[in-house]
Amino acid sequence: MEIIDNIKVEISPTQVLKRLHMDQDDKYLQDVEKLLELALPVLCPKAIFDIKYIDSRSDDSVTISGVEFSSRILRVNLDKVERTFPYIATCGIEVEKLDIPADELMLHFMLDTIKQMALGEAMRHLRQQIDEKYRPGKMSAMNPGSLEDWPISEQHKLFSLFGDVEKLIGVKLTDSCLMMPIKSVSGLYFQTETDYVNCQLCPREKCPGRRAPYNPELKEEYLK
């Protein structure tokens, strides 16, 4: 198991404003500068990953390192591989302690963007370390809760592959299996020759995070 917790975060006001689609001379520039002064010293994104081997497969499930995951699509995606890389990445619990007044909605919105950027850095380091250590080549990922076929309730199983995740990197699960801090992601990376993206099998309309068009025929292929 690898823990990545020494990630240096460098985020400029310009980068934040660009992410928010605001002009550089926007009236919010000073707010972003002040927010970064507060946030950067406490931002501490982290990630954890491991290499885990597949024990067995059934029609609709796959058992990884003694844990049975129930998902037909995950099982199909893992048909041709023997190892996976479970991971969890987070913006870090430390920045959650910043005391921004509840009615400062724009500041909260900006802070969310800064946390998202820190999470992006954690993911970049995570991917880099997997690549350097295991040289897997092309990979895709699946995440519990991103598709109906692999419900969010399976989050507990993913966390169980690591043990006490809260103690390791500060991420905990709520009763409804949401991760805290909210700006956290979890999933399984796997080697693949295809360009698999969850969004291809997700019919959700008007999703701002969509990375590929919905492909109902492909979904049928997976589920048949």
Task: Please list the residues that pair with 49 across neighbouring strands.
Answer: 2, 87
DSSP string spanning 136-168?
--SEEEE-TTSBTTB-GGGHHHHHHTTS-HHHH
Distant-in-sequence, close-in-space partners of 189: CB < 8 Å, separation ≥ 6: 49, 84, 85, 86, 87, 127, 130, 136, 139, 140, 141
Shortest distance (Å) from residue 201 CB to ligand SF4: 8
Shortest distance (Å) from residue 139 CB to ligand SF4: 17
Nearer to ligand SF4, 82 or 205 (CB): 205
Residue 127 identity (one-letter amino acid): R
The verdict on 198 binding ligand SF4 (CB under 6 A) reads yes
Q: Which of residues 207, 220, 221, 223 is near ligand SF4 by CB under 6 A?
A: 207
Q: Which stretch binds ligand SF4 (CB under 6 A): 43-51, 130-138, 181-189, 202-210?
A: 202-210
Residue 128 identity (one-letter amino acid): Q
Judged by CB under 6 A, the chain residues 122 through 181 that form the site for ligand SF4 are: 146
Nearer to ligand SF4, 172 or 210 (CB): 210
Q: Write down the number of H helices and E strands in the chain.
A: 7, 10
Sign of the CA dihedral running 108, 7, 85, 140: positive
Question: Which residue is listed with tokens 């302690």?
Answer: 97
The verdict on 202 binding ligand SF4 (CB under 6 A) reads yes
Shortest distance (Å) from residue 155 CB to ligand SF4: 15
Shortest distance (Å) from residue 83 CB to ligand SF4: 24
Q: How many residues bind ligand SF4 (CB under 6 A)?
A: 8
The verdict on 219 binding ligand SF4 (CB under 6 A) reads no
- Summarize as ranges the residues that interact with ligand SF4 (CB under 6 A): 146, 198-199, 202, 204, 207, 209-210
